[in-house]
Structure 1
Amino acid sequence: MTIEPVTEPGSWGALRVPRARVVPLSAPPASYTAAVERYLTGAGIAKSSARIYRISLTTWGWMLAGEPAPTGPARRGAKPPVFPVPAIDDPALPEVLAELAAARADETDADTVNRELSIARKAIGWWQRQGWIVGDPTIGIERRPAPPDRTKALAEKGCR
């Protein structure tokens, strides 16, 4: 690898390092489900958190496959659809995913949606660092604002 001086006006003698090509650290898993399991073990997710991460990533698995995620009681035992991990790099996925995430956000509380989005982004970033995927289809999906008075929001849901 060589480092070359930048000769563009306004570069102030900066050096340009060529972008490195990402080489997978290991062979990509055969399916999204296997990628989730490798993430949970390889990223050092504590066993106490792994259950919540697995549920969230199962929910996102449906959306990454372009389908609405199961809700209510059907969500607990739902298995993610089977699809190859490179499908996450489909250029059409971000638009579809944004629509599905918005629909999910309309039917689920902000805390859950935000936690699931955070977990999905952590897994996607880990998979990118492994070299299994290149893009992030969650770019452009924004966190939902939490209700200003959580006590009121919980009372409305009958949680008091």
Structure 2
Amino acid sequence: MAIEPVTELRVGGALCVPRARVVSLSASPASYTAVVERYLTGAGIAKSSAWIYRISLTTWGWMFAVEATPTGPARRGVKPPVFPVAAIDDPVLPKMLAESAAARADEMDADTANRELSVARKAIDRWQRRGWIEGDPTR
């Protein structure tokens, strides 16, 4: 839920005291891209951190979709593949994800791999608390 300020004009043009209107945000986003955007706008993280989070979550999006993750210069500015967020709950995903993550970890330093995993787990935890997904394929 979010609180949205509402301002109304009274008869005669007088401005009444602002009040709040509750707007439901509980509808589950349909795509992975949408949950990432909702997470980045609602997580209360700094813009500079949001940039790093976006890169990490885009990388994980490719792995969640069980597709080759772009590397090197091809990684810059790439968008995650389009797939339904419910695909994260596929019971086969954790095994395939473990293989993809292990292969990716071999290509990069441990700090980067751990940082990207930490970002994914934070996002997944929030999506679980919102009821958008049930499982955590990174565990």
TM-score with structure 2 length normalisation?
Answer: 0.80
The aligned residue for residue 6 of structure 2 is: none
Q: What secondary structure does 1:88 align onto? A: helix
The aligned residue for residue 148 of structure 1 is: none
What are structure 2's unaligned runs of at least 5 residues? Answer: 1-24
The aligned residue for residue 63 of structure 1 is: 63
Q: What secondary structure does 1:126 align onto? A: helix
The aligned residue for residue 29 of structure 2 is: 29
TM-score with structure 1 length normalisation?
Answer: 0.70
What's the Cα RMSD here? 0.9
5 Å matches for 1:84-95? 84-95=84-95
Q: What secondary structure does 2:82 align onto? A: coil
The aligned residue for residue 122 of structure 2 is: 122
What are structure 1's unaligned runs of at least 5 residues? Answer: 1-24, 140-160
Partners in 2 of 1:61 and 1:93 — Cα distance? 12
1:117, distance to aligned residue in structure 2 (A): 0.2
Q: Deviations over 1:88-137 (max 9, x none)?
A: 00000000000000000000111110000000000000000000000000
Aligned residues: 115
Amino acid aligned to 1:59: T
Percentage of identical aligned residues = 82
